[in-house]
Amino acid sequence: MAGKLEAIRTQLVERCHSALLQGLLDELRLRRVLDALEVEHINENQPQRANKCRTMIDTVIKKGDASCNILLQIIIEKDPALSEHLGIPGAL
């Protein structure tokens, strides 16, 4: 799944709006993919939305396929239209 996430990284950065990004970060924390310090680091050290999104994706990729799968699943749940546009399969 890391390969899939890397493949859609550029498009996700371009199309991920601020509300979706915050929802993804919240859900990643809730599902224990990211801890509070990682979410805080992303929010405080990256002033631009696109950079926050890049940092989030890169952090999740470093955590391996299971974490990537969780992020892709969250995208499907939070924004089905975006997930379809990005070519994320519906059932991961």
* Mean pLDDT, residues 22-43 taken together: 97
pTM: 0.91
- Please report which confidence band the pLDDT of residue 83 belongs to, taking 50, 70 and 90 as the band edges: very high
Long-range CB contacts (< 8 A, 24+ apart) of 74-83? 74/23, 74/24, 74/27, 74/28, 74/31, 75/12, 75/24, 77/27, 78/20, 78/23, 78/24, 78/27, 79/20, 82/12, 82/15, 82/16, 82/20
Above 80 in pLDDT, residue 2?
Answer: no
